[in-house]
Structure 1
Amino acid sequence: MTVCTVPHAAIAARSVQQTILTRDGVSLAVYASGPADAAHTVVLLHGLCLGAGSWQVIEDELREQLGEWVRIIRYDHRGHGGSGRAPMHTYRVEQLADDLTDVLVALRVRGALTVAGHSLGGMAAMTYCARPVEQQPVRPRGLVLVATAAGKLCERGLGRLLATPAPDFLSALVAHTPAYAAEHAVRALARPVCELVGLSRGCARAERRVLCSMCSAALSTTALSTAAGFLPHLRRFDQSAGLGNIRATTTILSGDVDTVTPTAHAQEMAKAIPSARHRQFRGAGHMLLHERPAQIAEEIASIVLRRTASSGVGA
């Protein structure tokens, strides 16, 4: 593991950037703040074509609510942001859960752990939490799932696009077209696609603005091969059978006008995960991290404080 001790200003003034290698040799850009021997660690996992920076405002809010005694870790998934690219066949949710394992081991996380994931990051978080204890170097005590799903992505909302030939077309484009030409073609299509998403029935105005800006940013920082690798896999992703194995205190957060992962996904997860709590935000869409940052941080902080009180550990 290579450690950089210079704060990464683009992520957060208090964060220290580190680079770790996964078990299959992919470099991950990791940003950590707070004491290394903290009694409680929070790990924040971002969505597809986003990055660790999508949680920046949430981390600031968590610091306001929890202080400096909690360790907060964020990182760019493989193929995203400052992390290295990987073979397309490794762009799978199960692999992201493996990467989470590698991060926890490399950073020597001890004590209580809460994992929060948005969209694709939520899928990775629930997959890790559903694994047998012996496959978890640290067993999470808290889990926060934000605008995500455990499966059936092809059956609802914009996820129905996964059932079309589009993901296979994208994969073929990447596989058989020179990288520059493929990237240029997709960038040319990005604007009308963003407008189509923004005009989707039920899409909140705030979500429309944020989604379009995030789409533009993602195209400049995320390789086309990343999306081309993940999308066909998401068509088949299904963690519903494992949800009953989750023992972490779980909160599920959704927006009632989310057109990417509609509320029905959250309702099904809440029924399947033991003692899970579901909170829905009116007028909010898929980009909850940007639409309701204070409330998301409040929910994460609530779980941290609840688990800390129950374990008798003081701040």
Structure 2
Amino acid sequence: MPTDEPLSLPALSEPPPPGSRTVTTDDGVPLHVEVDGEETADVTVLFSHGFTARLAEWELQRTALRDRARLVFWDQRGHGRSGWTPLTKATIDRTGRDLGEVLDATVPTGPVVLAGHSMGGMSVMALARQRPELFGTRVVGVLLLATSAGGLVETGVLGLAVKLVRRLGLLSLYLRFLQFLAPLLERFRRRGTAIGRRVTRRLLFGESDAHPHDVRLVQQLLEETPLPVTMAFYATFLDHDETESLRILERVPVTVVAATHDRLTPAAHGRRIAEQIGEGADLVVVPGAGHSVNLTRTAVVNQAFTDLLDRIALGRRNAG
């Protein structure tokens, strides 16, 4: 099911929109942040985008929720309008800390709901591990969309290859080679190709949700991110394991959205997250959808957000 109306994203070459600001991290990286929605709303929703995307991937959720909550969006380091980072800081652990700094700077008081897609969800889980005192106090709810708590490369051909390279002691050398090669590949990189569209279609869409306009849109987002950024972050997914953070998320209402045809973070990972969180987690499984589920199944994802906000509001009323 394609989006109801063709969506166009603001180009990075355009001036930042009103409501934009910069949050500079403790290691000096400028993070681009945009604020929208109802300034006087009871709750703020803080959105974290996925790997090689930018905050614009939430555009349809921004439209749907701006009358319901105060909204904060940010570009993760190395992505979108945010500054780059030393290669050693291209980790989920660091993006979790960045998320905490964005939260401190943009939501100094009041309840906040954290929403994360793919790598953004991993950043949310990392923040829970790093600053558990926020959850159940400042953070009153979490939405995790097409993400994983770990084990992304344990199975399949890639999993076997990584295990072999690790066993031979060559993993760090392999990753350094990728990072060395990336700037050269970037110089000769072609964007907007038919091959790129086929790869995007295969990896980020499901069996019946790949409208040509949506595929081109996601291809545009992915190809905006330079290859050195992609290669630098690649290593962090090999060792990503935030399973322990799920015990912290048990303190607040959580909605987990998983897509049955997600080839990057398969639905089994979402189911596992919901199972480990337990009774406080609502699991929404979207049949036929792929990794870009917030774009291709907009109504379902927006409803998941609305239901979570309703659940949080009801819980706060009952507690008061």
What TM-score comes out, normalization by structure 1 length?
0.82
Equivalents in 1 of 2:178, 2:202: separation in Å? 26
Runs of 5+ consecutive residues of structure 1 not aligned to the other structure: 1-8
Q: Specify the alignment match of 1:283 in structure 2.
A: 288
Q: Distance in 2 between matches of 1:193 and 1:171?
A: 25
Q: 2:64 aligned with 1:61, yes or no? A: yes
Task: Encode CA deviations 1:24-61: one digit per residue, 9 max, x unaligned.
Answer: 11001101013555420001110001000000111111
Q: Write the distance in 1 (CA, Å) between the matches of 2:136 and 2:231.
A: 31
> What corresponds to 1:248 in structure 2?
252
* 1:231 lines up with 2:246 in the alignment: no
5 Å matches for 1:148-163? 148-156=147-155, 160=159, 163=162
8 Å CA contact retained: 1:156, 1:261: no
| Structural mapping, 1:157-172, within 5 Å | 160=159, 163=162, 171-172=176-177
In 2, the alpha carbon distance for the partners of 1:23 and 1:137 equals 25
Q: 1:61 to 1:184 in 2, by over 3 A?
A: same
Q: How does 1:1-315 map to 2 (within 5 A)?
A: 10=10, 16-36=19-39, 38-63=41-66, 67=67, 70-134=69-133, 139-156=138-155, 160=159, 163=162, 171-175=176-180, 179=183, 181-187=184-190, 192=195, 194-196=197-199, 198-199=201-202, 203-207=206-210, 209=212, 210-211=214-215, 213-219=217-223, 221-246=224-249, 247-275=251-279, 276-312=281-317
Check the 8 A contact 1:251/1:279 in 2, yes or no: yes
Q: Which amino acid is the alignment partner of residue 312 of structure 1?
A: R
What secondary structure sits across from 1:206 in the alignment?
Answer: coil
1:83-139: per-residue Cα shift (whole Å, max 9, x none)? 111111111111111111111111243221111111000111122234443467963
Alpha-carbon distance between aligned partners in 1 of 2:275 and 2:241, rounded to the nearest angstrom: 16
Spell out, residue by residue over 1:291-314, the C-alpha distance to the aligned partner (whole angstroms, 9 max, x if none): 11122121112222222233239x
TM normalised by structure 2 equals 0.81
Could you tell me which residue of structure 2 aligns to residue 3 of structure 1?
A: none
Q: How many aligned residue pairs are there?
A: 297
Of residues 237-246 and 74-83 in structure 1, the stretch that sits farther from structure 2 once superposed is 237-246
In the alignment, is the contact (CA less than 8 A) between 1:174 and 1:182 conserved in 2?
no
SS in 1 for 2:289: coil
Instruction: Spell out, residue by residue over 1:204-225, the C-alpha distance to the aligned partner (whole angstroms, 9 max, x if none).
Output: 2434854564234322x21222
The alignment-based identity, stated in percent, is 26
Range moving further from structure 2, 78-87 or 189-198: 189-198
CA RMSD across the alignment: 3.3
